[in-house]
Chain A
Amino acid sequence: MAETTTTFTNATQVLEPFRGIKKVTIEEYFTSGHRTCQGCESALVMKLMVKAAGPRTIVLGSTGCMYVANTTYYTTPWVVPWMHTQLGSSGSAALGTAAGLKALMAKGKIKAEPINVIAFCGDGGGADMGIGAISATLTHKEYNSLILLYDNESYANTDIQISGMSPYGAHTTFSPPGKVHRIIHKRWKKNMAGMMAAGHPECRYVATVCASFAVDMMNRVRRALTIGGPTFIHSLDPCPKGWDYDPMLSHELGELAIETGVFPLYEVEDGQLKYYGKTRAIVDGRKRKPVREYLLKQGRFAHFIEEDLAYFQAKVDEMWEKWEIPAVVPFRRLDATKSVLDVK
């Protein structure tokens, strides 16, 4: 049993960060026998997420790969209690479960102890459909829950349709490159973690993670669960099926996404932003790798010509060079010499 914080009302388990890979919990709470792809990074996220959280945890999963592949035909790889919830309702399920536990404990129906509540959602379920419910949950500061968005950049379960998180130009079922129009998907990906952090001033913890950096990732989960209240984590998950690559590259593509600056690693704790890992090195001046090193390893970008690669690079450069807070907050302050009314 983990140590707990003192006040019952918002008590959480105190999960100290793992000091290195050798100190990581040996037990698995999400084990083998799931129907995911070879090299599925999202399955790894599930494994690491509950490994970090420990046995006194309830997991809620909205529809998506990690629901369908993990609990089918009366079989499961879950060791901890798990419940399915509807596609758009990871936020509501997290809040409801946290509130339910609290009520049962207050009434003395179950033992009063801190139980981790984690709701996960895919990018379709979280960033598209469920964003309203997640947003609402992040304002309920008296309930402890973590919402983890595993982002494989498409509706991968139903065979790769565009989501609000699909990157510019990617080949998906909804955006096949053609002879006349090479680029069909022209929207830039949403900035989920930045949006959640900026928009919910009482949410105490928002972080981005990538499972290629396993210990860093688990420690972000531990921090989110320890700090209490509603928290949010956004994980970028390379997807061999939708991104079209040899499954052996899953780990490497996660690293490349960070090293090219396409996806930043940071955490916002009580309003304080901290970059970490290789993103920290970029902020401190290490050169970002060119995005082409990341893009051209994926079949979904195989139709890109130099112009497209240059556009993608320019957009990523803009994230780092023009945004008010690099790679986190996209808007800019007005030029100090102009007043607001001057700008049309």
Chain B
Amino acid sequence: MASLIAEIVYRGIFQKNLAARVARGIVLSARKSGRWGIAFGRYGDSPQRNGIPAKDFAIVADTKEELEQNMARYEPKHTDVTIVLDDTLAKGVESWAWYGLQPINKLTVPNGTVLMTSLQSFDSLIEDVHKREEPYTLALIRAKASFSGLWVYREDHTEVRVLGALAKIAPQFLPLDGVCQAIQEIDWGSDLKVASAKKAHDRLESRVVKITEGNAEAPFAFEKPKWWEMREGVTIPAIPIGKPKEGGEGYVPDRNPYFKKYTTRTMRPVIDFDTCVKCNLCWISCPDSCFDVMPDGTFDANMEACCGCGVCEAVCPVEQCVTMVNESLFEDNASQWEMWRKDQAAYKTWLVTKIGDKQGTLRSHGFRFRGQYEQELAAGDLDSGGGVITAGIPGENAAHKTQ
């Protein structure tokens, strides 16, 4: 008598179909060894948005009664396996319907497993994941995050790699044979996918994370209003108008204090204040109003407000003035402009390192043109998620990113 509870943490819309396949695959694999299962999404994540962290759950149990017991909950409070489909989620998630930031391992049971797709080293990932009171295992599938969209799916075998890895982590619930059989029969399955699942099973890397390891920062948190505190007619105080940056110059808007949106980000803009021509385009085109106006007329992307869409890079008329760089290369949300003002030479060195990181500037945010995913998969090793095609990236940086 036992049950296995898995949560699948993923990037909204970009990985919606992928997460659904993983959840469904878990249940169908469990049936192959006579177990019962259910897969469901988290109600609070709907309606989903591009990039905002979201969750699906899959529960597998030996008996129907045990399954029902688990289904009686709104959503699982603890999970045996936390599956993370994008390694920038390691920094924690602030979902659509939540107040504050949750560490990625928050629901993982003591000695449970956090399973992640990543090309980063264990050490650099553990720096991002919040510390916790109990040890857990970090297991890595060596592949990059698979992003596509609602309609066109990127067939890079990520879903079966996760299932193969789960067969290694929890063979008592998901024996490899059952997983392979389920993949064979499912409408999106194939022999090649069975082979990918087996490879992922054999190649899974894992290591125990001790209680002394991890990011020591206390995640930002808020008190949620209690039902009896809710006001009649639901009125919400408006946001104040904002103020000049300093000495009456520039402008910093006030922002929603309870929802910061930055865990939606997988890449962030890195700005070269020396080459900025102060054209205002990034500032006016940002859907999230994340650019603060500096006294010198340049614009500082506020890292608590930026959700990483990349429109600023696309509209910037200066080559490499705004460059989107992978979130995994940064430790905090500090102001770039302040860093630049303090020491311009040091900032330049920092900037060149960040935007010069070839891997860190690769873009994988879904559909840019028809045939792109096929080209990507043909351009690189399928086991690690294929290569990268840079065609179709708009703006002045586009040429630079062509491999």
Give A contacts to B, CB under 8 Å.
21-22, 24, 26-41, 43-44, 47-48, 55, 65, 68-69, 71-82, 157-160, 171, 214-215, 240-242, 244-252, 296-300, 302
Contacts and interface: CB of A to CB of B under 8 A. Distances in A.
Contacts of A73: 97, 99, 224, 258-259
B189 interface: no
A79 B394 contact: no
A250 B241 contact: no
A32 B290 contact: yes
B151 A299 contact: yes
Interface in B94-114: 96-97, 99
B320 interface: no
A76 B254 CA distance: 11
A234 B288 CA distance: 21
A44 B258 CA distance: 20
A70 to B, nearest CB: 9
Most chain B CB neighbours (cut-off 10 Å) among A22, A32, A47: A32
Contacts of A44: 285-287
B55 to A, nearest CB: 15
A308 B304 CA distance: 44
B239 A245 contact: no
Main secondary structure of the interface of A (DSSP, over half): loop
Contacts of B279: 21
Interface string B241-262: 1100000000101111111110
14 contacts: A22-B280, A24-B284, A37-B50, A40-B49, A41-B287, A65-B47, A79-B241, A159-B47, A215-B284, A244-B149, A245-B366, A298-B367, A299-B151, A299-B152
Nearest to A247: B309
A241 B50 contact: yes
Nearest to B153: A299
Nearest to A43: B287
A185 to B, nearest CB: 13
Nearest to A237: B287
Contacts of B288: 32, 34, 36, 43
A248 B311 contact: yes
B50 A75 contact: no
Contact of B242 (A31, A75, A160): A31
B354 interface: no
A66 B348 CA distance: 39
A171 to B, nearest CB: 4
B1 interface: no
A37 B253 CA distance: 21
A286 B328 CA distance: 45
Nearest 3 pairs of A and B residues by beta carbon:
A33-B256, A248-B310, A32-B305
A76 B234 CA distance: 12
Contacts of A302: 151-152, 367, 370
B367 A250 contact: no
Contact of B309 (A38, A77, A215): A38
Given A71-B236, A251-B311, A38 B50 contact: yes
Most chain B CB neighbours (cut-off 10 Å) among A41, A55, A74, A159? A74
A75 B315 CA distance: 30
B369 interface: yes
Contacts of A159: 46-48, 150
B241 A241 contact: no
Interface string B155-171: 00000000000000000
Contact of B52 (A35, A55, A71, A244): A35
A241 B150 contact: yes
A71 B238 CA distance: 10
Nearest to A303: B151
A43 B260 CA distance: 15
B50 A30 contact: no
Contacts of B15: none
